[in-house]
Structure formats: C-alpha cells, structure tokens
C-alpha cells in the first residue's frame, strides 16, 4: 500500500514536472533554443507573485492575472531583444545568452531577497494542507491535485492551440521549416516571440505552484531546470503528451526511490532518465539493423 501511495504521489508530482517542462519543450521544439534560464524565469515569476501577495496584499489567485501576462510580455521582449539576435549566430550562442540571463536573474533576486527560503504556503489557506483520504494509507493533497489538473489543462489547451488555430499551425510550420513557412507568408519572428511568451508564462505558473507547494530561493532555478530537462527528454522532444508521460515517469521514479532509501530520490530519477535514454539507444541500434523498428513500422 505504501508503494501504491508513492506511485500516486509520484504521478501527481509528474503533473508539476510536465507543467515546468512544457515551456522548455516548446522553445526547444520551435526555436531549437536550449533555454538555460528556464528555471530562473520560473523562480522569478514566483517571486513576483510573492511580492504582490505579501507586500501588495493581493490574493495569490488575483495576482496570477498580473504575473502571467507580465511574464508573457517579458518572454516576448526576451525573444525580440536577445534570443532572436543570438539565434542568428547559430544554436550555441543562445546557450551563452540564456546562461548569462539566468545568472543575472538569480543574483538580482538574491540582492533583493537574500538567501532565505520563501513560500506561498501561508497565502493559500487550507488548500495547502487539505487532502482527500482515499484509504488509510493513500491521501491526495488538494493542492497536488489542482496542480496536476492545471498541468493537464495547460497541455490540452496548448495541444488545441497548436492543432486547431491558424496561429498554432503557423507555429508548427515554423518549427518544421522556418524558411519555407516564411515563403508561404508566416511571420517567423512573430511566431517565435509568441512561443517565447507562452513558454515564459507557463514557466512562471509552474514557479508559483512550486512556491505554494514547497519553497523557493533565488538559486532554486538550476535545480528545477534539470528536472524540466529530464522530463522533456524522457517524454521525447516536441511531444506535449510525451512531456506529461515524462513528468510522471520522473515523479514516480523519485518517489519510489525515496521509499527505498531517503537519500535516493534524485539519484533514482537520474538513473531512470539514463535508463530511458539507454533503451532508446539500444532500440535504435536494433532498428538500424532492421530489427524491432522495422517490425513496428509494418504494424
């Protein structure tokens, strides 16, 4: 039973990871940018909301209506002023730009807020600790369930946006081949800026949830970034449902690992990540020799 509980909690945690990772996946999928500042932007969004809620006296939910559009605008500007220019110099230069941006964000936050852990736990009342008791051993936290539901909703919305709207189609076309997309009248610059705006806003939402569920400090970003990367890679690049699956695999691995040995949760997550990559490599090798993949291709 205790194992089942760990799996359930892991699945819920996976929702958070999927939310955290979806923006990263979008930017990589569309612009081929590995955004090393993704975790820091998530933390920045959370600090923004923290200030509005604690110094501005706003309800954290109302503050989201300020934070998310502002962060989206920030993402738009980031793409237009920095990433667009660095992308022109090849795929490696955005690494340097986003690395620099991450360092700047971390240290400016540190300058303003110090190294203390901050949490939005006290701002959300009973939601932070209420739970539904399923059996004597399994209970589901209302906040975890909310985060999972929001993650699924965001992924569904993104999926519908990408498949059903003209702008979404333009985005997919640009991701596939920016030059050809421009030939048929897509404004690639606008599409890229839009993708960056969505990615940064969703990252901020994930950051806010992180601060509600546990705590953040100015240097939390890189630690979250590695989980987001693992989620994206396990799920397969460019697939939104894959991202959810990736998050769940990572969350379950970490929670089950923690049950085996308290010092193991991160190690277990990392090992599962490598195992997934290894499986992909081995299956790829089989496939290239006309093995499994060739068989699957015929089905």
Partner 1 sequence: MSTATVQRWTAASLTSSGAVGCLVAALAFVPVALSANATDKLTTFLVYLILAAMWNALAGYAGLVSVGQQAFFGLGAYFAIKLSNAGVGIYPALVLGALCGGAVSVPVSWFMLRLRGGEFAIGMWVVSEIAFRLVILDYSVGGLTGTSIGPALGGFSPSDRRNDNYWLALGAAVLLLAVVFGLLRSRTGASLQAIRDDEEAAASVGVRVLAGKGIVFVLAAFGCAAAGSLWLATSLTFQPDDFFSVKWTAYMLFMALVGGLGTFEGPIVGAVVFFVIQDQWGDQGVWYLVGLGAAAILFALALPRGIWGTVEDRFGLRLLPVGYRLRMPAAGGGGAPA
From CA 135, how far away is CA 126, in angstroms rounded? 21
Indicate the residue among 80 and 142 with the shorter CB distance to partner 1.
Answer: 80
Indicate the residue among 93 and 173 with the shorter CB distance to partner 1.
Answer: 93
From CA 17, how far away is CA 228, in angstroms rounded? 6
For residue 163, what are its two tokens?
């498949």
* Cα separation of the two ends of the chain: 38
Minimum gap (Å) between residue 125 Cβ and partner 1: 34
Indicate the residue among 136 and 263 with the shorter CB distance to partner 1.
Answer: 263
Angle between helices 221-235 and 38-54 (to 10 degrees): 130
Torsion angles phi and psi, residue 36, rounded to 5: -75, -10
Indicate the residue among 60 and 257 with the shorter CB distance to partner 1.
Answer: 257
Indicate the residue among 38 and 118 with the shorter CB distance to partner 1.
Answer: 38
Q: 164: helix, coil or strand?
A: helix
From CA 152, how far away is CA 137, in angstroms rounded? 26
Indicate the residue among 8 and 224 with the shorter CB distance to partner 1.
Answer: 224
Minimum gap (Å) between residue 58 Cβ and partner 1: 28
Minimum gap (Å) between residue 183 Cβ and partner 1: 23
Residues of the shown chain interacting with partner 1 in the complex, contacts defined by CB under 8 A: 28, 34, 36, 82, 85-86, 88-97, 99-104, 106-108, 110-111, 222, 226, 229-230, 233, 237, 263, 266-267, 270-271, 273-274, 277-278, 281, 284
Cα-Cα-Cα-Cα dihedral of 14, 130, 64, 243, to 10°?
A: 10
Residues 6+ positions from 279 with CB-CB distance below 8 Å = none
Query: b/e per residue, 27-43, with b = 16+ CB within 10 A?
Result: bbbbbebbbbbbbbbbb
Indicate the residue among 15 and 221 with the shorter CB distance to partner 1.
Answer: 221
For residue 56, what are its two tokens?
């501005």
Nearest to 8 by CA among 212, 148, 128: 148
Minimum gap (Å) between residue 92 Cβ and partner 1: 6
From CA 289, how far away is CA 269, in angstroms rounded? 31
Indicate the residue among 194 and 234 with the shorter CB distance to partner 1.
Answer: 234
Minimum gap (Å) between residue 283 Cβ and partner 1: 11
Q: 241: helix, coil or strand?
A: helix
Minimum gap (Å) between residue 141 Cβ and partner 1: 27
Minimum gap (Å) between residue 215 Cβ and partner 1: 19
Residue 170 CA, chain-centre distance (Å), reads 23
From CA 104, how far away is CA 138, in angstroms rounded? 42
Minimum gap (Å) between residue 79 Cβ and partner 1: 13
């Amino acid at each position: 039973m205790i194992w089942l509980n760990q799996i359930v909690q892991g699945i819920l945690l996976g929702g958070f990871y999927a939310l955290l990772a979806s923006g990263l996946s979008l930017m990589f999928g569309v612009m081929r940018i590995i955004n090393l500042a993704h975790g820091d932007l998530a933390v920045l969004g959370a600090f923004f909301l923290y200030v509005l809620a604690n110094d501005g006296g706003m309800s954290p939910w109302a503050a989201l209506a300020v934070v998310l559009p502002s962060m989206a605008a920030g993402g738009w500007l980031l793409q237009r002023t920095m990433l667009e220019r660095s992308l022109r110099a090849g795929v490696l230069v955005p690494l340097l730009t986003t690395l620099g941006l991450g360092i700047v964000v971390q240290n400016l936050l540190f300058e303003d807020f110090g190294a203390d852990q901050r949490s939005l736990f006290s701002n959300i009342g009973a939601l932070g600790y209420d739970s539904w008791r399923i059996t004597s051993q399994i209970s589901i936290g209302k906040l975890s369930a909310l985060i999972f539901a929001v993650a699924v909703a965001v992924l569904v919305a993104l999926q519908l946006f990408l498949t059903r709207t003209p702008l979404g189609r333009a985005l997919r076309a640009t991701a596939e081949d920016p030059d050809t997309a421009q030939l048929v009248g897509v404004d690639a610059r606008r599409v890229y800026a839009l993708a960056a705006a969505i990615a940064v806003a969703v990252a901020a939402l994930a950051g806010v949830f992180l601060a509600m569920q546990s705590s953040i400090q100015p240097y939390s970003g890189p630690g979250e970034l590695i989980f987001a990367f693992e989620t994206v890679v396990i799920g397969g690049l460019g697939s939104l449902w894959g991202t959810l699956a990736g998050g769940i695999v990572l969350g379950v691995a970490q929670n089950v690992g923690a049950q085996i040995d308290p010092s193991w949760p991160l190690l277990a997550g990392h090992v599962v990540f490598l195992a997934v990559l290894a499986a992909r490599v081995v299956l790829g090798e089989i496939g290239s020799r006309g093995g499994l993949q060739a068989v699957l291709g015929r089905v």
